[in-house]
Every structure is written in C-alpha cells, then in structure tokens.
C-alpha cells in the first residue's frame, strides 16, 4: 500500500488467446490534499501507459485509468504502479499492485459447430 494512494486493478481472471484484455486501474487518494497522479503498467514485455494521462485527484476520491493489451498464448502477470508528482516537479512511485490473468482454454467444438464450419456432414 502506498503512502499517498491505493491502487486497485479491475481486469478479467482469464482471457482467450488473441483477445483484447480491457484493464481499469482505480487509484484512491488517501492523503489529506490533492494529488497529481498517473499510472503505468507492464504485462508480458509490453508497457502500458493508460493514455499517458495525469490528473489531479481530490482527497478521499478515486479516479480511473484505462488501457488494454492483446492476450498472449500463456498465463500472464499484469503489474501496475501509481505515481505522484511532488513539489519539486519530479514523479515518484507510490503504490503498486498485480493481477494474474490466465489463458482461457477454448471451448470444445460441438457437432453443430462442425456442421456450421464445414456445411454438410
């Protein structure tokens, strides 16, 4: 848990290979003053910048950032970091969180799937 903020990741527990995985990061300002915050992330060698957006968040409020990635052919760990801008104009890491996302197994084909795919049997 960070000194000034608290990160929560909203993302699916599993996703199909090649699908777009939507990620929401909620950042709660637990400090007594406004914070200038941003979020970054990382998954399977890909950096996430959540629109490269920073915003001011009031005390006791939560703000959300959004990004996505394409699910690879394996289970992955999504890591997210919140950053705050200090009075010296520099950005500092505050909180971090991770979520494991499993590769979803494709549903087994049914007879009707085969008929639709190949016409007549």
Residue 39 lies in domain? 5-118
Tens of pLDDT along 67-118? 999 999 999 999 999 999 999 999 999 999 999 999 998 766 665 655 555 5
Provide the number of structural domains found in the chain: 1
Instruction: Tell which residue, 31, 32, 13, has the closest CA to residue 21.
Output: 13
Query: Which CATH number belongs to the domain containing residue 40 in this structure?
Result: 2.60.40.10
Residue 1 confidence class, pLDDT cut points 50, 70, 90: confident
Whole-number Cα distances in Å, 6 to 59, 70, 74 = 12, 26, 29
Tens of pLDDT along 5-47? 999 999 999 999 999 999 999 999 999 999 999 999 999 999 9
């Amino acid at each position: 848990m960070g000194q000034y903020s608290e990160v929560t990741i909203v993302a699916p527990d599993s996703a199909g290979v090649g699908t777009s995985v939507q990620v929401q990061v909620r950042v709660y300002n637990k400090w007594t003053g406004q914070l200038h915050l941003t979020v970054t992330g990382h998954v399977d060698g890909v950096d996430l910048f959540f629109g490269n957006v920073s915003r001011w968040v009031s005390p006791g409020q939560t703000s959300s950032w959004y990004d996505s990635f394409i699910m690879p052919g394996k289970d992955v760990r999504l890591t997210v970091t919140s950053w705050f801008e200090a009075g010296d104009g520099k950005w500092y890491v505050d909180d971090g969180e991770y979520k494991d996302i499993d590769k979803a197994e494709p549903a087994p084909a049914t007879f009707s799937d085969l008929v639709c795919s190949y016409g007549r049997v």
